[in-house]
Amino acid sequence: MSSQRLAVTSAVTALAPAVWGSTYLVTTEFLPPDRPLLASTLRALPAGLVLLLITRALPKGMWWWRAVVLGVLNIGAFFYCLFVAAYHLPGGVAALVMSVQPMIVLLLSSALLKDRIQPLHIVSCLLGAAGVALLVLQPHAGLDGVGVAAGLLGALSMASGIVFTKKWGRPEGVSLLTFTGWQLTVGGLVLVPVTLASEDLPDHLTWGNIGGFAYLGIVGALIAYVLWFRGLSRLPALAASFLSFASPLCATVLGYLFLDQSLRPLQLFGAATVIAAVVLAQPRTRNKPTTPAPPTQATSRV
């Protein structure tokens, strides 16, 4: 793949975590309060079922259990851990804990995909974590053991999903829409009993609530995860994992634009550091050295 195509693929894939970064704004401004698991379930399950109805294809053979594993890791378990962390930690601390995901991907890729760990990869991981800290960490942020553990487990779940998606690929002849539908459906079904046991259903829904749920399901799940899994099929696992930093970056920008949240100079420096880490982690094509043509022999002698 050429450098230009790699750049385009990375940019398109980054749209998915950027959209996920808008979830906080949509949740706080449009959805019923204090029902994050309900939002997650309605974000994943309807979108998955719609894709299954469109494609009318179910897994076959070993892809039944693989679809379950990927759906739990990429959607169900990740969402649950994410919201447990959000309940127990300030948003900035939760984002900082989740920023260890590329480091986990780096180790898992080395073990399962036989990818070599390069010094540049380690530098990118450290830069990314530092940038997220400057971007989202607020003064006097508290720590909570349950929240930190949930955040780490969420990062491990998503990182494992990325690596196993790369390792197993996609079944031959199965479309990207079908592959995405399997995972969203599994993730949503896993969340249903947890949601019913943990949260009460709202008494009524406003048009704003319906619009918010529709945005999360159509844009935040169906479109975003199609773009995400498309990118995973074309990019190295580590490069794709760094694109997830677009999520806290987008959330911070949207908070500044729509929620009157201020941006301090350190946050701007953190945003620049995050972008630098993402750029460093992206794959590059190497130009093959050209072999010089052999010298032509004279056809006549003087």
pLDDT interval class at 231 (50, 70, 90): very high
Mean pLDDT of 269-295: 69
pLDDT interval class at 13 (50, 70, 90): very high
pLDDT for the residue 93: 63
pLDDT at residue 128 is higher than 90: no
Q: Higher model confidence: residue 238 or residue 58? A: 58
> What's the pLDDT tens digit per position in 42-66?
999 999 999 999 999 999 999 999 9
- Dihedral pair phi/psi, residue 57, rounded to 5°: -140, 130
Q: Higher model confidence: residue 296 or residue 125? A: 125
pLDDT for the residue 165: 95
Mean pLDDT of 234-260: 85
DSSP codes, the chain: --HHHHHHHHHHHHHHHHHHHTHHHHHHHHSPTT-HHHHHHHHHHHHHHHHHHHH-----TTHHHHHHHHHIIIIIHHHHHHHHHHHHS-HHHHHHHHTTHHHHHHHHHHHHS-PPPPHHHHHHHHHHHHHHHHHHPPTT----HHHHHHHHHHHHHHHHHHHHHHHH---TT--HHHHHHHHHHHHHHHHHHHHHHH-PPPS---HHHHHHHHHHHIIIIIIHHHHHHHHHHHS-HHHHHHGGGHHHHHHHHHHHHHS-----HHHHHHHHHHHHHHHHHS--PPPPPPPPPPPPPPSS--
Instruction: Give the whole-angstrom CA distance, residue 46 versus residue 191.
Output: 12
Mean pLDDT of 91-102: 72
Mean pLDDT of 129-139: 74
Mean pLDDT of 170-186: 95
pLDDT at residue 181 is higher than 70: yes
pLDDT for the residue 286: 54
Across all residues in the chain, what is the average pLDDT? 85
Q: Higher model confidence: residue 47 or residue 143? A: 47
What is the share, in percent, of the chain residues with pLDDT greater than 70? 88
pLDDT for the residue 117: 82
- Please state which of the ranges 96-100, 135-139, 267-271 shows the lowest mean pLDDT: 135-139
pLDDT interval class at 300 (50, 70, 90): very low
pLDDT for the residue 41: 94
| Predicted structure pTM score | 0.84
Mean pLDDT of 113-135: 84
pLDDT at residue 71 is higher than 50: yes
